Structures are given as C-alpha cells and as structure tokens.
Amino acid sequence: MYTNTTRLALGLAAASLIAVGGCSASPRVIEPIVWPPPPEQERIRLVDLYVDASDAGSGTAWYDQAWTWLTGTDGDWAPGAMRQPSALVESNGVLYVTDPVLGIVQGYDKTKQDHYVGAPAEDRPMAEPIGIAAGSDGRIYITDARAKTIYTYTADLQYIGPFQTDFVFKQPTGIWFDRQHGCFYVVDTADHQFAALQPDGRLKWKVGGRGDGDGQFNFPTFLCQRGEWIYVVDSLNHRVQIFDTDGKFITKFGQAGRALGSFSMPKGIGVDSKGHIYVSDAGFNNVQIFRLTPEKKAQLLLYVGSGGVDQGEFSMPTGLFVGGDDRIYIADSYNKRVQVLQYLGGKP
C-alpha cells in the first residue's frame, strides 16, 4: 500500500513531465453575476473560476489518471484540484494557491497553459501551508504554520529552501512582500503580533501582544499593504487594524455583530487602486467592501456573495488578494475553488 508521501512523490514527478501541448478542457462557463444587481449600475463582476488544472488550460488524459491515483480518489477529483484553498497571490500571470489539507502550493499559469505543484521535497508535503507572497525576485514565499517556518520556491514552484531568519515564529500565517520598502510583513497568529523582516531575515520591527487595544491583537490572520499603509485582519477582535510602514498605528474599524459592516470571522483582506478595502468573512460567507473617509472612518459600500455552492456564493472564504488590475481573487475554501471578481470602476 502506498503512503500519502509516496503518492505525493510520484505525483509531483508525474506533474513535472506534463507537456503544455496536452489536451486541455473546454473553458469553464462563467455565469453573468454582478453586484449590485440590476437595475443599479454594476460595480463588481464575477469573471473567472479556478477549480482544477483545466482552468489553466492544462491537463492530459494520462495525467488525470495519475492525479486520481495520487490523491487516492475514485476518479471524482480532477488533476490540480484544491482540497481547502487558504491563501493566494497572483504574480506575472500565475495564480498561486496554498492548500493546508494537501500540504502543497499550486500554480495555475493561463499564459503557458501549465500547472505547477510545490512541496519541500518529493516525499514530504508541507505540514500546514497557510500564507503566500510573491517577492520582487520572482520567488514565492509560503508560511507553514505548523512547521513554524517560511519556505521559498521558484516561480514554477521548484523548492529552494527555508527563508533564513533568527526571528522565532509560533504560528506564521499571513505574509506580504512590500516591494516599495523591500521587506516582508508576517503575521504570527499564536503570538498575536506581526513583524517586518528584512530580505536577509533580520527583524526590522514588530507590533502586537494579546489584547483589544490599539496595536494589540487576538489571533490575527492575513494582511496586505498598499502605499504607506498595512492592513491587518484582527480576526477574533472582529476588526481590521491599519498601520503605517514603520508599524505605527493609524486607525481601526469593525466590531462583532450580525449587521452589515460588522464582522463574524474576518479572514482575508485586499485594497484596490481606488483605496477600497475588501474583507472576506468566513462566518458571513461574503466579502464586504469599505472605504475610509477623510476622518479615517470606515464606510461600508457594498457586500458581495452569500452562503452557498453556486457561482458568486461562498463557503468559508479565507484568503483574498487584489491584483494590479483590480481583480479580486478569493479562496472559497469549503467550495474547493478560487473565485475571481473584477472591480469595474466607480463607487461600489
């Protein structure tokens, strides 16, 4: 009987041999879903879905069989499929997605019609890959919450090695690379803090400690950065805290509640080119969109989605990433897929 690690080793080897010119599946049909619904002017549109390798135009008949054998399924799980997508980042046309259940990171490359799979070794998956970031050097950085480390990969997910740092993590989760200032921001959920690390691993500064005051956290998860501000999801305080790139507290918004504008289980966060703040909520099964007033108060503009399995619906959404073209990528974890939205301009 083959162990999971043996299956992973052989599956990764098989994946590395897949030819781009193989037979690809027909494009997935995307339903014409917009928010807000007519007759109001649409501001957000569903534009894409990632479910398996066919959504990158990759896949062959023999690879389907190999992947089925690798995963131990009875043919009901397609190659490149996700089990529980956690976080994601888009870089140079490739969508990278971590999956803590599979213990791997996957890359979906529509330009090259290819699919990549990454793990630290052919016989060893990651323990619990959670966060992901793309560096300016083209490398991909993955936090492993259980192994308490950060792994480094090439753009096609060849393993390089652990990120070298003297900083000790308890449970690293969210990670972001600040291209403007050349440093990493890493959330440590169990230590209730986040830290700025230099590319050589040296600590630049850290902020946190458990509590509900300004600059304190209660199990933070993901974060993002836009311009001179860093946005951190303070999950069990049911809020978002905003800091400058020196770690100075700026403002906060959110509270526990059932009304729109409140949070149940906030997870992922992203900011578009107009400064709109997108927050995925695994409890509400939606994404809420805010803007900050000149007084740095949050105003709810729109919410997207509800609980369900259909397109435009979510089940336990977690990581969220906003690309440079204002595309919003959402890890729809329990639906085992990524949904992609497009901001169309104007006030949501």
Q: Is-above-0.95 flag for pTM? A: no
Query: What is residue 123's predicted lDDT score, i.e. its pLDDT?
Result: 66
**CB 90 within 8 Å of CB 328:** no
Query: What is residue 95's predicted lDDT score, i.e. its pLDDT?
Result: 98
- CA distance linking residue 159 with residue 122, whole number of Å: 10
- CA distance linking residue 248 with residue 99, whole number of Å: 32
Among 35, 72, 29, smallest CA distance to 54 is for 29
Query: What is residue 78's predicted lDDT score, i.e. its pLDDT?
Result: 74
- CA distance linking residue 60 with residue 71, whole number of Å: 16
Side by side, the strands of the sheet bearing 277-281 are 266-271, 277-281, 286-292, 298-304
Q: pLDDT 10s per residue in the chain (348 long)?
A: 334 444 455 455 444 444 334 444 567 899 999 999 999 999 999 999 999 999 998 754 334 444 454 545 444 557 899 999 999 999 999 999 999 999 999 999 999 999 999 998 766 899 999 999 999 989 999 999 999 999 999 999 999 999 999 999 999 999 999 999 999 999 999 999 999 999 999 999 999 999 999 999 999 999 999 999 999 999 999 999 999 999 999 999 999 999 999 999 999 999 999 999 999 999 999 999 999 999 999 999 999 999 999 999 999 999 999 998 999 999 999 999 999 999 998 766
**CB 101 within 8 Å of CB 116:** no
Q: Is the peptide bond before 36 cis (omega within 30 degrees of 0)?
A: yes
**CB 344 within 8 Å of CB 43:** yes
**CB 341 within 8 Å of CB 50:** no
Query: What is residue 59's predicted lDDT score, i.e. its pLDDT?
Result: 59
Identify the residue whose tokens are 């995925």.
280
**CB 81 within 8 Å of CB 63:** no
Burial 190-210 (b: 16+ CB within 10 A, else e): ebbbbbbbeeeeeebebbbee
**CB 257 within 8 Å of CB 211:** no
Query: What is residue 153's predicted lDDT score, i.e. its pLDDT?
Result: 97
- CA distance linking residue 129 with residue 276, whole number of Å: 28
